[in-house]
């Protein structure tokens, strides 16, 4: 056999076996392994071999082969996760190159069947002429795959209106750890199909035999420990499996990051394209105003409520003079708000009443033409621009990104974070998504210095204690990864 790149000697047998097994592509050269060892996270993990499956049976064969030899498998989409769940030591399954098709479009049902390697942006370009779109909009939306979004239960800045990926997943086709292929969807606990599954000597049958009793046994703990947040991707979603007399494994696999099974097909619910958006900047002069302001805006049906805390506003004014007209002196938090398909007059009236109740001394800034909408976009993207233009002896290190509290506890969350960083005498840049209570926190640290690494750990522990005390979640989006 001739190799374009020479494989490592230690994995030649593995490469030959997998090349004979699958119809897709198998990579094991050092260059490919180095490329696939990376993602936008703090980890670098080199896989033994990379398989790019071409069809479902490729996945089944790889799973059975790996199970018989005790080799781990890591499914991967575009590798955009910042938590390290798209890198792994064993066999890495890359769905992007070959399993990336739209299988069936059902406009009457407002649904579509897709393969896991399909890009979100590709799907939405296909749907736009038909008047539909898949509304979840993570920051990596141009290049993330739908399989990765499902595995992480991804969400975006429009989560107040649309929720998370799991809210739009109808059914799945999944390969289990022994190579069994199963469909998911609601099944009646008293139906014939359920009785047949429970009686079958299969892994699927074992799941359905065990799960109802498991949910009943831990019912009290599940109720008391459920995070008080609108979206949660920490652990497994055991809360939504059983609905009345029906049980559905779909929520269990959504957000499970490939640990329970590997998704090979998904049926997704779509939504009609929204109308023209209405954009507003809301300036708050007290952190105590943040929670009631966010909840009030959500009550007005805001599709996006982005938070820029004072720290990021101060840094922005120092770095970029062009932002100054939109960053008023004395602002403790700026809310960047979008209303999709809304009537401007009704929103302005509701906004006026809300700000009067809050007692903020600033008037809102409303984008009334294309030029002002362009200015709004610049302000909205301040965090991205700041990260690219940061200059200093230390790099900005992400301390918090996927953690969240209930929007009603954002004021307490922000004040608690400020207290932590003031005690540690460190500057922190804070922004986030007010709609789902997520805050992104970055601090200047040098990860090559042991004292800064220790400091990062102690800061993270203090932040997590605060989040859990507010009954929040340490994983709202992006997945648990290698935490």
Tell me, what's the pLDDT at 367? 86
Q: Rg of the chain's alpha carbons, rounded to an integer?
A: 24
For the record, the structure tokens of 395 come out as 């790099």
Give the whole-angstrom CA distance, residue 274 versus residue 403: 28
Number of residues assigned to the chain: 483
- Alpha carbon distances (Å) from 27 to 4, 47, 50, 53, 80: 10, 10, 5, 11, 20
Q: Helix or strand or coil: residue 411?
A: helix
DSSP 362: S
Tell me, what's the pLDDT at 324? 60
Tell me if 9-94 shares its fold with 277-469.
Answer: no
Q: What topology does CATH give the domain 277-469?
A: Vanillyl-alcohol Oxidase; Chain A, domain 3 (3.40.462)
Query: Which positions ≥6 away from 2 have C-beta within 8 Å?
Result: none
Give the whole-angstrom CA distance, residue 460 versus residue 86: 23
* Average pLDDT along the chain: 88
Mind listing the pLDDT tens digit for each residue in 360-402? 888 888 888 888 888 888 788 777 667 666 666 788 888 888 7
- Scanning the structure block, which residue is given the tokens 């062009």? 322
Q: Helix or strand or coil: residue 44?
A: coil
CATH number of this structure's domain 102-272: 3.30.465.10
Q: What topology does CATH give the domain 9-94?
A: 3.30.43
DSSP 255: T
For the record, the structure tokens of 3 come out as 């190799």
Q: Which residues of the chain have pLDDT under 50?
A: 1-7, 483
Query: Which positions ≥6 away from 83 have C-beta within 8 Å?
Result: 41, 402, 478, 479, 480, 481, 482, 483
Domain-wise residue ranges, the chain: 9-94, 102-272, 277-469
Tell me, what's the pLDDT at 209? 95
Give the whole-angstrom CA distance, residue 47 versus residue 94: 12
Question: In sequence order, what E strands does 42-131 have?
Answer: 49-52, 73-76, 91-94, 102-106, 111-114
Q: Do 130 and 107 meet the contact criterion of CB atoms below 8 Å apart?
A: yes
Give the whole-angstrom CA distance, residue 201 versus residue 343: 58
Q: Do 330 and 259 meet the contact criterion of CB atoms below 8 Å apart?
A: no
For the record, the structure tokens of 143 come out as 């290049």
Of 480, 467, 481, 395, the residue nearest 438 (C-alpha): 467
Strand 181-183's sheet: what is its strand order? 102-106, 111-114, 262-269, 169-175, 181-183
Tell me, what's the pLDDT at 5? 42
Give the whole-angstrom CA distance, residue 295 versus residue 478: 24
Q: Helix or strand or coil: residue 297?
A: helix
Query: Which positions ≥6 away from 467 have C-beta within 8 Å?
Result: 403, 404, 405, 413, 473, 474
């Amino acid at each position: 056999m001739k190799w374009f790149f020479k494989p490592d000697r230690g994995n030649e047998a593995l490469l030959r076996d997998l090349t004979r097994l699958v119809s897709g592509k198998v990579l094991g050269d050092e260059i490919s392994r180095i490329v696939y060892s990376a993602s936008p996270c703090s980890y670098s993990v080199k896989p033994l071999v990379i398989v790019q499956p071409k069809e479902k049976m490729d996945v089944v064969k790889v799973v059975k082969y790996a199970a018989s030899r005790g080799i781990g498998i890591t499914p991967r989409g575009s590798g955009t996760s910042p938590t390290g769940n798209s890198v792994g030591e064993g066999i890495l399954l890359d769905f992007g190159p070959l399993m990336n098709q739209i299988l069936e479009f059902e406009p009457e049902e407002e649904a579509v069947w897709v393969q896991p390697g399909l890009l979100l942006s590709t799907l939405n370009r296909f749907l736009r002429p038909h008047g539909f779109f898949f509304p979840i909009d993570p920051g990596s939306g141009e290049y993330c795959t739908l399989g990765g979004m499902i595995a992480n239960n991804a969400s975006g800045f429009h989560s107040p209106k649309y929720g998370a990926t799991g809210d739009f997943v109808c059914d799945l086709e999944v390969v289990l750890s022994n190579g069994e292929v199963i469909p998911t969807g609601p099944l009646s606990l008293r139906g014939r199909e359920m009785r047949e599954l429970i009686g079958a000597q299969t892994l699927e049958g074992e799941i359905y035999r065990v799960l109802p009793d498991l949910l009943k046994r831990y019912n009290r703990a599940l109720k008391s420990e459920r995070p008080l947040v609108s979206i949660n991707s920490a652990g497994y979603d055991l809360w939504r499996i059983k609905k009345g007399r029906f049980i559905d494994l779909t929520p269990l696999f959504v957000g499970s990051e490939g640990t329970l099974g590997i998704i090979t097909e998904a049926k997704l619910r779509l939504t009609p394209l929204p109308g023209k958006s209405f954009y507003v900047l809301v300036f708050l002069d007290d952190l105590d105003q943040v929670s009631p302001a966010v909840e009030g805006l959500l009550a007005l049906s805001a599709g996006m409520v982005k938070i820029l805390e004072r720290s990021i506003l101060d840094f922005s004014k120092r770095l970029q003079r062009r932002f100054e007209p939109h960053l008023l002196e004395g602002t403790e938090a700026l809310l960047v708000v979008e209303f999709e398909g809304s009537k401007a007059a009704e929103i302005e009236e509701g906004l006026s009443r809300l700000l009067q109740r809050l007692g903020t001394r600033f008037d809102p800034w409303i984008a009334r033409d294309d030029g002002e909408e362009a200015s709004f976009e610049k302000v909205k993207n301040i965090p991205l621009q700041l990260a690219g233009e940061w200059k200093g002896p230390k790099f900005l290190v992400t301390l918090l990104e996927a953690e969240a509290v209930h929007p009603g506890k954002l004021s307490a969350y922000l004040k608690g974070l400020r207290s932590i960083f003031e005690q540690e005498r460190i500057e922190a840049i804070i922004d986030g998504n007010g709609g789902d209570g997520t805050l992104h926190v970055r601090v200047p640290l040098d990860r090559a210095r042991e004292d800064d690494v220790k400091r990062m750990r102690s800061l993270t522990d203090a932040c997590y204690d605060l989040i859990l005390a507010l009954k929040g979640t340490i994983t709202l989006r992006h997945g648990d990864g290698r935490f």
